[in-house]
Homo-oligomer: A and B are copies of this chain.
Amino acid sequence: MSLIVMKFGGSSVSNIDKIKIVTAKIINKKKTDKNKVVVVVSAPGDMTDELIDLANQITDKPDDREMDMLLATGEQRSVALLSMSLKANDYDAISLTGPQAGIHADMTHTKARITVIKPLKIFKELNKNKIVIVAGFQGINPNKDVTTLGRGGSDLTAVAIAAAIKADICEIYTDVDGVYTTDPRVCSRARKINCISYDEMLEMSGSGAQVMQARSIEVAKKYNVIIEVKSSFNNNPGTIINDGKKEKKMENVVITAVTFDKNQSKLSILEVNDKPGIAAKVFGILAKSQVNVDMIIQSSARERYNDISFTVSRNDLKKTVSVLSGISRELNSKGIIFDDKIAKLSIVGVGMKSHPGVAAKMFNALAKEKINIEMISTSEIKISCVIKEESVNKAVNALHRAFGLNK
């Protein structure tokens, strides 16, 4: 017998036929070895977008608390329908809203953080041998108001519940078979990864792979929750995400995946005075404007002057330029240039820690394809380069081959 958390996204419950398919999947899991099962579900299909659209018909800036009140109805619909469907198949089930499930969150509406999970009710219902269906993406704050957890919120609910009830595994059902060595739409030789560590997965999330959001992986890492990312549509084994300690083979693998992110733009502030506090000023004011800065590079090769370059997501480019223009006089720079036809290309793998020469191999592979590198940034287990967007496909295929990911 295992204690299992299963998470299904909105596309898996977008209509009644799909709900019936999910029902069968849950029943199958429940039967096998008489497992105890907690299911986390998102709002059906495009419902969240529809509700946001309704709110925007009322006002440009809907009140955050009321937005959460509105959005929370989406998941509530899903859990009620799914629980009905299980009961109609003679499997006892109970639906719980986030608040009912004991998911406590902080006071930030529309992107709350989970503070603690009190799984008393979940345990109580599991002990009655019920399948417990929990609304993802939502919690209750100290005011007893409903809050929502922001992007990736349902994954987070699933992982956090798995941590709180000490589940044996947290299964994330998606429309792909698992985590891939790179995007199969770009590289036909992409392969499913059988096992990947939390750290690698975190770097992948941060560098364009859209399987799971970083915040869920962080929680999984912290509480050592074993995740399996797998398909809603077949029974193939998926990708296991864990601490990587048990994987003996891992020593031999240098690079686990090649990722890319086209939603990037690059800015440079030219010839800024090289005195303390300038970078703090620039990035402080951007943070205040809610601009998320990704790579930052400052070259101090020249005397007295620096260029500061950094990347932001393309949606933030306009705002960033306008914010920087506002303080350009204070910076006394020679000007701002930007380019939104770029992409970030990364290789990820814990193996690179102990294998020297990985960066050189990457640059070499790109050079052979005559791809120019505009920025470089490295972490312990990741190397990222900014290149022209038009070169992404060629670059991904070259790196996938160079690091032996084609098998």
Contacts and interface: CB of A to CB of B under 8 A. Distances in A.
A162 interface: no
Contact of A144 (B62, B79, B84, B100): B100
Contacts of A16: 54, 57-58
Nearest to A23: B58
A88 B59 contact: yes
Given A58-B88, A59-B88, A88-B59, A94 B65 contact: yes
Interface string A60-73: 01110111011011
Contacts of A59: 84-85, 87-88
A84 B57 contact: no
Interface string A378-407: 000000000000000000000000000000
Given A73-B77, A76-B73, A100-B144, A66 B84 contact: yes
A59 B86 CA distance: 10
Interface string A68-100: 011011001101110111011000001101001
A257 to B, nearest CB: 40
Nearest to A17: B57
Contacts of A58: 16, 19-20, 81, 84-85, 88
Interface string A237-276: 0000000000000000000000000000000000000000
Interface in A25-77: 51, 54-55, 57-59, 61-63, 65-67, 69-70, 72-73, 76-77
A66 B95 contact: yes
A73 B135 CA distance: 13
A83 B69 contact: yes
A54 B94 CA distance: 18
A66 B54 contact: no
A84 B62 contact: yes
A135 to B, nearest CB: 9
Contacts of A85: 58-59
A58 to B, nearest CB: 5
Nearest to A59: B88
A41 to B, nearest CB: 12
A63 B81 CA distance: 10
A83 B66 contact: yes
A20 to B, nearest CB: 8
Contacts of A77: 51, 70, 73
B69 A80 contact: yes
Interface of A: 16, 19-20, 51, 54-55, 57-59, 61-63, 65-67, 69-70, 72-73, 76-77, 79-81, 83-85, 87-88, 94-95, 97, 100, 144
